[in-house]
Structure 1
Amino acid sequence: MTFAPAIPITGYLGWRVFENSADRQFEVFKSSPEITRNLEYFTDNIKEALTAEDLVKDRKLLTVALGAYGLSEEIDNRAFVRKVLEDGTDDPYSFANRLNDSRWKAFAKDFGYGNVAGTRVLISSFREQVATDYMERAFEESVGNVNTDMRLAMNFRREIATIAENPNVDRTGWFSIMGQPPLRSVLEGALGLPSSIGTADIDQQKDLFERKADQFFGGKSPAVFKDPAVVENALRRFFLNTEIENGPTASTPGSAALTMLSGQSFSDQSQNLFLSLLS
């Protein structure tokens, strides 16, 4: 039987409810047949994948490898994946280093096929880390099959901490965020920014993120996300702004009353009421 996360309520309230049971659900998920089979196969065979070609041609191995970096949707783009791996990251102008999505750089660097130091698949600690990351992200993917926003929130909580703690966060933090679509999506929602800002000059985008972050979170640098309270505030704003944009659903607390009050539409007055109820 395929694991199906229990997410009875959407929105920010649903997120808070889900958080209380996430650890227990994850334990159940880790024992699901598909995850168990994938990890057993990976453990038994990854040491034989000594080249990028070896990894890419084995769909089962590639499923775990890509999944560990949140790239499982790229499983059928094998020529692209192979190019990323074979070019490596030693050269600052390599394919992976030139891609906007920084997950590819991490993927190529960690597996090391195209780097002078060579692949790390023979290092047991690396194999174990890939397996652990795969389980976590596969769980997030299963959550996303039920509620996309909650998958984005889980990813945000994990990845923003890594960026915030980076010594170069003031210089590179926003570029790292803008280069990861899931992170960018959450912060655009939290800051009330339209996705169309992605067409602007990259430095102008960075300036806008900085100004909005300073306004709502009290600092221009992504280093503000070292504070768990700021992370929670960002997630709260993301969920509430997304729900306002999409309108109430049947699982939105008080949605029936809001619908009656607003005459079948989620008016500005009702939006304010909704925000005050969840503040």
Structure 2
Amino acid sequence: MSFQPVLPFGGYAGWRFLDRTLESQQAAFAKAPAMQRDADYFRANIAKATTAEALVADHRLMKVALGAFGLDDDLPNKAFIRKVLGEGTLQAEALSNRLSDKRYAAMAKAFGYDLQPPRVGQSDFADKILVAYDSRRFETAVGDQDGNMRLVLALQRDLGDVAAKTTSEATKWFTIMGTPPLRSVFEGALGLPSSFATLDIDKQLETLQERTGALFGSPDVSQFSDPAQMEKLARLFLVRAELAGGGASAVSGQSVALQLLQGTQAGGGVLSLLG
């Protein structure tokens, strides 16, 4: 029987438990027989897949490749993935560069099928992909029990990298908007409605910056290089989600959560509640 993540309760308290036990839980999950079989097959065969066509033709390799970037749902979409990988990222008009979801460009860049030779033949390539695959598969298993917890795991993994980039702040925000898990956390934490994504892209950027500035003291993504700021973001997202869900764990903290939501009208006052 495979290892299942242990989540004794939900909400922010549940996240703190998961965060404290994350390393040991991930290690146990990666040792599961099915995960080991995936890893062994990928290490033994990925260097042979020297073209995008060869990778897509091997279901087991494609499973790991897509899983490493959280794109498991695209497993049946062979022609689409072959085009994404085959065109790579070097040309501005490449498909991966034109897609709003930046995970495709990250995958295409990692495999480097537009390079000669592609990166799949590098000695450390398999291990790099498998580290990402183990992490993403663990997140998926967590998400089977608690979708919000999965989003916070993705936040911890990805936001620091975006924040540390040397690109402009606007570019960082566009990356967040093009990365579904990060977008979901920010929209939830900032209390944005489901219709937000239908707004003009520049209006979305303006709103994200304004609300982030009001709640965190700065409109810049770079502030989330600070673990304390990232933790405040995760906490706000989970408290809002817990209140919206109305679960049992939300009841005892309901008054605090209501104050938190009301505090968004007064800007930085929310952060005093977040502590």
Matches within 5 A, 1:256-271: 271=257
The Cα offsets for residues 208-234 of structure 1, whole Å up to 9 and x where unpaired, read as 100011011111110010111110000
For 1:11, give the aligned amino acid.
G
The Cα offsets for residues 43-73 of structure 1, whole Å up to 9 and x where unpaired, read as 1111111111111111110111111111122
Q: 1:109 aligns to what?
A: 109
Q: 2:227 aligns to what?
A: 228
Distance in 2, matches of 1:75 and 1:151, equals: 20
Matches within 5 A, 1:1-279: 1-113=1-113, 115-247=114-246, 249-250=247-248, 252=249, 255=251, 271-272=257-258
TM-score, normalisation: structure 2:
0.91
Contact 1:7–1:18 (Cα < 8 Å) also in 2? yes
TM-score, normalisation: structure 1:
0.89
State the shift of 1:79 in Å.
1.4
State the shift of 1:168 in Å.
0.6
Structure 2: state its 5+ residue gaps. 262-271
State the shift of 1:156 in Å.
0.5
Distance in 1, matches of 2:89 and 2:100, equals: 14
- Judged with a 3 Å threshold, the aligned counterparts in structure 2 of structure 1 residues 214 and 49 are, in CA distance, closer, same or farther, namely same
Secondary structure class of the residue paired with 1:153: helix
Distance in 1, matches of 2:197 and 2:259, equals: 31
For 1:65, give the aligned amino acid.
A
State the shift of 1:117 in Å.
3.6
State the shift of 1:128 in Å.
1.5
Distance in 1, matches of 2:117 and 2:93, equals: 18
Distance in 2, matches of 1:243 and 1:12, equals: 8
The Cα offsets for residues 165-207 of structure 1, whole Å up to 9 and x where unpaired, read as 0001424100000000100000111111123111111111011
State the shift of 1:271 in Å.
4.7
Contact 2:185–2:237 (Cα < 8 Å) also in 1? yes
For 1:166, give the aligned amino acid.
K
Q: 1:262 aligns to what?
A: none
- Judged with a 3 Å threshold, the aligned counterparts in structure 2 of structure 1 residues 277 and 180 are, in CA distance, closer, same or farther, namely closer
CA RMSD of superposed structures (Å): 2.0
The Cα offsets for residues 108-131 of structure 1, whole Å up to 9 and x where unpaired, read as 111111x24441110012221111
- Judged with a 3 Å threshold, the aligned counterparts in structure 2 of structure 1 residues 233 and 270 are, in CA distance, closer, same or farther, namely closer
Q: 1:263 aligns to what?
A: none
For 2:146, give the aligned amino acid.
N
Secondary structure class of the residue paired with 1:212: helix
For 1:224, give the aligned amino acid.
Q
Distance in 2, matches of 1:22 and 1:135, equals: 13
The Cα offsets for residues 90-145 of structure 1, whole Å up to 9 and x where unpaired, read as 110111100000010011111111x2444111001222111111111111111111
For 1:19, give the aligned amino acid.
D
Distance in 2, matches of 1:86 and 1:105, equals: 11
Contact 2:239–2:257 (Cα < 8 Å) also in 1? no
Aligned residues: 265
- Judged with a 3 Å threshold, the aligned counterparts in structure 2 of structure 1 residues 109 and 271 are, in CA distance, closer, same or farther, namely closer
For 1:9, give the aligned amino acid.
F
- Judged with a 3 Å threshold, the aligned counterparts in structure 2 of structure 1 residues 278 and 171 are, in CA distance, closer, same or farther, namely closer
Distance in 1, matches of 2:256 and 2:106, equals: 44
State the shift of 1:274 in Å.
9.1
For 2:219, give the aligned amino acid.
K
- Judged with a 3 Å threshold, the aligned counterparts in structure 2 of structure 1 residues 127 and 229 are, in CA distance, closer, same or farther, namely same
